[in-house]
Structure 1
Amino acid sequence: MQIRLIAAAVLLVAGQAHALTPTEVAAASTIKVYASGASAIRNIVGQIFLQNCASNLDIYYSDRAAGGNFTADGANGDSHRVYTCTLKAEANLETDLKGKGLGGRNVAFFKRDAGGSAQGVFPVAVPSNSANLAVNGTSCVATGNAAAFNAATGVTTPSFLCKNSETVRAPELGFSDVEPAFFKGLNALSGFSSAGLTPAQASGLTVVPTFLTIMGVGVSNALYTALQDAQGTTGVPTVPRSVIGSLTRGELADPAGGLGWQALGVADAEKQVNICRRAAGSGTQAAANLLFSNFPCSRDAQAAPSVNADSEYPNTLTPASWNDGAFFVYEASSAGNVANCLSNANDAGGYAIGHLSLENAPTAKWKHVALDGVEPTRANMTAGKYDYAVESTAQYRTALITALNAGSADDKAKAGFITGFAKAVGRPVNMDKLATATKAGLAALPGAGIYNDPADPIAAAFVSRVGRTNGNNCTPLAVVQ
C-alpha cells in the first residue's frame, strides 16, 4: 500500500498542465491561510498539506539572492515556503478537512519558518503583524522547474523563488515545538515581553496538542568521524549529555587550553569549538534549554546557553574562520540554517555541534549522534529509552475562528481548514504517509492509539507509550500505557 501511495504522490506533481501562479494565488477565490512557527517541523506540516492536493501544484520558496529580504539564509526556502494547489474532492480529503467546504478549492498555505516556534505563539496570540512571503509578480520569478514533491525522500522542488516579504497581517495558525507557556525569559521572542504571554492573551488561544517532536544533537561529519575513531566504531557514535551541555553553555570554550573537544576524547581536540544553535524564540532551542539547562522548569538559577555575543565572530554563516579561534556561536533563524552552519564548519574541516529535530535528514556533511549511548530513533523514543523529545502544539485565536465562522462561505471554509489542519497533523494515519526521513522526526501522542498494537501496524509504528503530563513539557516523560 505504501508503494502505491508514494507512486500516486509523485505522479500528482509530475505531469500538471496548470498551476497556481502568483496572479491566481492573489485571486479572491483562492483560500489563503497564513501559518507561522516551528521550523523544526516544516517538512511534516508541508507534506501533510500536500497529501490533500489533487492538482495544480506550485511551491514558492524564499529567495536568498542579493537584493531581497533573505540574503542571510544559507539556502533558498530556509525562511518561508508557500504551498498552493487545488485540493482533492471532498470525499477524498483527510478526515479532519472533510465537510468544511474545502473539496476542489484552490488553497495557498503560507508557512513562515523564520524565527521559529515563538513566531507561532506571540504574533498569533497578541495578535501582531509579522512578515510573510510576498507572492506577486514583483517578488517572485519562475525557477523553470515544475513544482514537485518526492514522497520517498521528502524533497520539494520549488516552481517560484520570491525575494521579498510583506508585513501586513498576523498569522492565523501557529505551530510550536513546545507549549506557549515556555516562551519567556531565555526563550522569549525579541520585540515581545520577556515575561511571555499575558493571561488574557494565553486564554484567547485554542491550543491543540499535536505530536511528540524528536530532537537530536547533530555534529559536523568531521567530528562524527573523529568520534567514531575515538570510540572504535563504524556505527553511530555517542556523546555524553553532560559534555554537550557544557559545550553549549560555554563551559568548554578554551580548546587550546585543554577545555574544549578534549572532553569527548577525540583527536585534534584543540580545534575551535563551533556551536550551531537556534536564536531565542526557537522551539528547538527551547527544547535544548530544557534538556541541557533545565529552563524554564527549575526554580534554581540555571547556567544560560552561550549566545553569539559570547564568541569571537559576528553572527554569520561565513565567519572569518571555523578553525583558528577558540569559540564561535551561530544563532540560526531556522532549522535549515543550523544544518547550513554544521555543513559550513565541516567544509572547513571544523568540529561543530547543533540541535536539529530528527525530521531533518542527515547529509554527507553532518549527522545525528547518540546521547548517553542511546541512538535517536522513533522506536527508542516511543519505548521511553530516548528522552530528547517534546510535546508540540498548534494554536489559533479562538476569536478569529468565531469571526470567520460568522462570515462568508469562503470564511467558513478557511476556519475549517485552520481547525481541521491543526488536528490532522497529529493523526498516525497521516504520519504514515510522510516521507521516510520526515517520519523519523515525530511520534504520535499516547492518546492517539495503542502502543505497539499488533492489530494496527500504523499505530504500532507511531504511538508512544510515554508522554508528558497534560502536555506540560516541564514534567518528565512517563509511561502512559
Structure 2
Amino acid sequence: MKKQILSAAIAAVSLLGFSQTSFALAPNTTPDLEIFMSGATAQDKAIAALFNNLCDAGTLDVFKDNNKAGSEGKDHTAYFCTLSSANVPGLSVNGSPVSSANVLFHKRSAGGSAQGVNPLIDNVAIAAMRIDNGNCAVSSGTTWFCNAQGANLSNQVSDAGISDVEPKMFVGPNKPSNAGAVDAAAADAALTVEAAAALLFGVPVSDNLYVALQKAQGLLAAPANCAAGAYTEACMPSLSKQQVAELVSGQIKKWSEFKINGTALTSLTAGMTYDSGDGVIRQVTPTDTKVHFCKRIDGSGTGAQMYAKFLNNPCSTAGLDPDWAGSALAGPVKHEVSGSGDMELCLEDFADGESNAKQVTTTNPDVFNTTVNSSGAKAWAIGMQSTENNATHAKHYRFIKVDGVAPTLENAFRGKYMDWVEQTYQWRNAISQDKKTIIQKIATDAGSPSILGTVLNPGFVHAFGPAGYLAVGTKHAFTENLNLSAPVMPYSHAVKGSLSNCQVPVIKASTNNNKPM
C-alpha cells in the first residue's frame, strides 16, 4: 500500500524547500506511531534491513546524521514508512486495530549497547535526532542527511534497546559513564528481554599489521604463496586468544616486543610494501611502532563481548582490565571511540596515516573531539568489530583468525570459532501495546533463520567466507549441516539458567542426535 500524501502537506513541505518527489513520507508528516530505539551499533545494518523488510514498497525514507562526512548515520538514523497489518499482524494505533500506519522509527547508535539498556531501566531521556524541523536535506533518492546537533536533538526515553550481550552484563568495565552498573532485579522489573540471534565478532587489524602478520607466519612464501593482503581463509594470519588478551589488556608496549625466532616483527617487514586495493602502494613497517588499541567506549556491547571472551571480564573477579592508562610516549596507546563507524576510522587512520577519527575527550556526557592520530603517523593497530562490517574491504582493515580459525558461520556452527555472542532486544514494559507489537515483530524477525539467511547475511559475505548471524538453537531446529539459507547455531550461552554470554557455549542435551561436532 502506498501512502497518499495530502496536497496541503505537500505544499507545507515545499515551503520548507523539500523536493516534492524525493520522499515517500514528508519529514514533517505527523506519524501515527513514533518509536525510539537505542543501543548497539554492531546491529545497525541488520536494523536497517529488518525495518526495510517490514515497510510497504516505495514508502520508506531514511534519515542519517551527517555529523561526520563519510560516516553518515553513525550516531543517529531514522526510518519513516508505512507499515501494513499484512506485514505486522496485530498492528494498532491508540489501541485500535488498523490496516496501515505511518511509523517513524528512530535508532540512536551513539554510545553503543549500554544506551539500549541503562536508560530504559532508569527511565532516563537521552538525545534522539529530529527530522521534522527543516534540518534534513535530500542526499539522493529517498535518503536524507540531517544536522543532528543542538536544537536538532530532542531528549526522549527510549522505548526499546538492542545490545550485543544481555543487559545484566553492563557492569564493571561495561558500565557507561552516565549510569551506574545494571541492577539485575531492576532490569527484570523494567524490561522484557528477548535473545534474538548469535552474532559473530572478530579481531580487526589495520591493513599494514595484517600484511606484517602474514609475513611473520610464512604466508607470503611457499607453500602458501599468498599475495600481501590476500583475504582468503587460507591466507589469513592468526593470533592466539592469549596474544589478543595481552594486546587488549595493555601488556605489550611496542610491536618490536613481538619476536619471531628472535627477530622483531618490525624488523621482518623492512622495505615491504602492499596495496590495500585502491592502487596506492604503502609501506608495511610503521613510522610509529607503539601498540595502538582502538577500543570502544565503556558501555559498548562490542567491547563487552570482547572482554568476556578474551579477558574473562566481568565474568570473573580475576578478569583482566581493558581500562588501562598506557603511555602516549612509550606505549601502549588506547583510543576510546564511540561506535562501529568510529572504529573503522580509527583503524584506517593508522593504516593510511590519516587523522579522521575522534576519541573521547570528556565523559558524562561523553564528548568526542580529540583527534586519534593527530600526527598522521602510520602505525599498527588492533580493534574490535562485528563481522557484519567491511565485507567489501572498503575500509583499510581486515579481520584475522583467532587460534587459527577464521570468523565464518561454518566455523562457529562447528564449535571451532569462539568469538560470538547472543544479542538481545529489550523493551520497557511500560510502553503501549501499539509500540510493543512492532518492536516484538522486529525482534522476532531478527531471530528468524530464513530472514537471517536471505535478508541479512547475504550482505556479510567476506572474501574469507560468509559471516554475520545465526538463529539460536534453543528456539529453532538444527541438523549436523549448516544451512546458509536458514542458519541455526546449535551452541548456546543459555544452557544453564537464563542467557549469560559468560557461559561456555555448549549444545544443549536433547533428543536431537544430529549435532555438528
Shared fold (TM-score greater than 0.5)?
yes
Alpha carbons of 1:141 and 1:372: their partners in 2 closer, same or farther (altered >3 Å)?
same
Tell me which residue corresponds to 2:424.
393
Q: Which has the higher helix share?
A: 1
Structure 2: how far apart are the matches of 1:368 and 1:180? 27
Tell me which residue corresponds to 2:511.
none
Question: Residue 120 of structure 1 is aligned with which of 98, 116, 122?
Answer: 116
**Do the aligned residues in 1 keep the contact of 2:41 with 2:112 (CA within 8 Å)?**
yes
Tell me which residue corresponds to 1:420.
441
Residues 172-191 of structure 1: per-residue CA shift (max 9 Å, x gap): 01101101110011110112
Please list, as runs of the form range in 1=range in 2, the aligned pairs for 1:376-455 lying within 5 A after superposition: 376-400=407-431, 404-405=432-433, 412=434, 414-432=435-453, 433-434=455-456, 436-438=458-460, 440-452=467-479
The residue identity in structure 1 corresponding to 2:322 is P
Tell me which residue corresponds to 1:241.
241
**Do the aligned residues in 2 keep the contact of 1:239 with 1:371 (CA within 8 Å)?**
yes
The residue identity in structure 2 corresponding to 1:217 is V
CA RMSD of aligned residues (A): 2.6
Please list, as runs of the form range in 1=range in 2, the aligned pairs for 1:66-465 lying within 5 A after superposition: 75-87=71-83, 89-91=84-86, 93=87, 97-101=88-92, 103-143=99-139, 145-147=140-142, 158-164=143-149, 165-194=152-181, 196-197=182-183, 199-233=185-219, 234=226, 235-255=235-255, 262=264, 267=269, 268=285, 271-300=289-318, 302-307=319-324, 309-312=325-328, 326-348=331-353, 349-362=378-391, 363-364=393-394, 365-400=396-431, 404-405=432-433, 412=434, 414-432=435-453, 433-434=455-456, 436-438=458-460, 440-452=467-479, 458-459=485-486, 462-465=487-490
Tell me which residue corresponds to 1:30.
32
Residues 428-470 of structure 1: per-residue CA shift (max 9 Å, x gap): 12212125234722111013422247797633xx101111123
Alpha carbons of 1:453 and 1:122: their partners in 2 closer, same or farther (altered >3 Å)?
same
**Do the aligned residues in 1 keep the contact of 2:457 with 2:469 (CA within 8 Å)?**
no
Q: Percent identity?
A: 30
Alpha carbons of 1:114 and 1:421: their partners in 2 closer, same or farther (altered >3 Å)?
same
Residues 57-97 of structure 1: per-residue CA shift (max 9 Å, x gap): 211111125xxxxxxx872211111111223x433x1xxx2
Shift of 1:377: 0.5
The residue identity in structure 2 corresponding to 1:443 is L
Structure 1: how far apart are the matches of 2:507 and 2:293? 33
**Do the aligned residues in 1 keep the contact of 2:61 with 2:79 (CA within 8 Å)?**
yes
Shift of 1:394: 0.6
Tell me which residue corresponds to 2:364.
none
Structure 2: how far apart are the matches of 1:138 and 1:18? 14
Shift of 1:197: 2.5
Shift of 1:297: 1.1
Structure 2: how far apart are the matches of 1:444 and 1:283? 19
What are the ranges of 5 or more consecutive residues in structure 1 without an aligned counterpart?
A: 1-15, 66-72, 148-157, 313-323, 406-411
Structure 2: how far apart are the matches of 1:435 and 1:386? 18
The residue identity in structure 1 corresponding to 2:504 is P
Alpha carbons of 1:238 and 1:78: their partners in 2 closer, same or farther (altered >3 Å)?
same
What are the ranges of 5 or more consecutive residues in structure 2 without an aligned counterpart?
A: 1-20, 93-97, 220-225, 227-234, 270-284, 354-377, 462-466, 509-514
What's the TM-score once normalised by structure 2's chain length? 0.74
Aligned partner of residue 212 in structure 1, secondary structure: strand
Tell me which residue corresponds to 2:491.
466
Alpha carbons of 1:455 and 1:163: their partners in 2 closer, same or farther (altered >3 Å)?
closer
The residue identity in structure 2 corresponding to 1:90 is S
**Do the aligned residues in 2 keep the contact of 1:248 with 1:306 (CA within 8 Å)?**
no
Tell me which residue corresponds to 2:26.
21
Aligned partner of residue 34 in structure 2, secondary structure: strand
Aligned partner of residue 137 in structure 1, secondary structure: coil
The alignment of Structure 1 onto Structure 2 pairs a total of residues equal to 414
Residues 214-259 of structure 1: per-residue CA shift (max 9 Å, x gap): 1100011111111122223221111122111111111001446779
Alpha carbons of 1:33 and 1:283: their partners in 2 closer, same or farther (altered >3 Å)?
same
Q: Please say which structure displays the higher CA radius of gyration.
A: 2
Shift of 1:356: 0.3
Shift of 1:326: 3.4
Residues 281-325 of structure 1: per-residue CA shift (max 9 Å, x gap): 00000011112210111133x331145x4342xxxxxxxxxxx86
Structure 1: how far apart are the matches of 2:255 and 2:266? 11
Structure 2: how far apart are the matches of 1:168 and 1:359? 30
Structure 2: how far apart are the matches of 1:171 and 1:417? 14
- 1:46 has 2:37 as partner: no
- 1:475 has 2:503 as partner: yes
Alpha carbons of 1:385 and 1:255: their partners in 2 closer, same or farther (altered >3 Å)?
closer
**Do the aligned residues in 2 keep the contact of 1:361 with 1:437 (CA within 8 Å)?**
no
What's the TM-score once normalised by structure 1's chain length? 0.80
Deviates more, 1:357-366 or 1:117-126: 357-366
Aligned partner of residue 416 in structure 2, secondary structure: coil
Tell me which residue corresponds to 2:58.
55
Please list, as runs of the form range in 1=range in 2, the aligned pairs for 1:3-22 lying within 5 A after superposition: 18-22=23-27
Tell me which residue corresponds to 2:5.
none
**Do the aligned residues in 2 keep the contact of 1:212 with 1:442 (CA within 8 Å)?**
yes
The residue identity in structure 1 corresponding to 2:252 is L
The residue identity in structure 2 corresponding to 1:368 is F
**Do the aligned residues in 2 keep the contact of 1:58 with 1:160 (CA within 8 Å)?**
no
Structure 1: how far apart are the matches of 2:246 and 2:48? 35
**Do the aligned residues in 1 keep the contact of 2:293 with 2:333 (CA within 8 Å)?**
yes
Structure 2: how far apart are the matches of 1:381 and 1:210? 17
Structure 2: how far apart are the matches of 1:263 and 1:252? 13
Shift of 1:110: 0.7
Shift of 1:124: 1.1
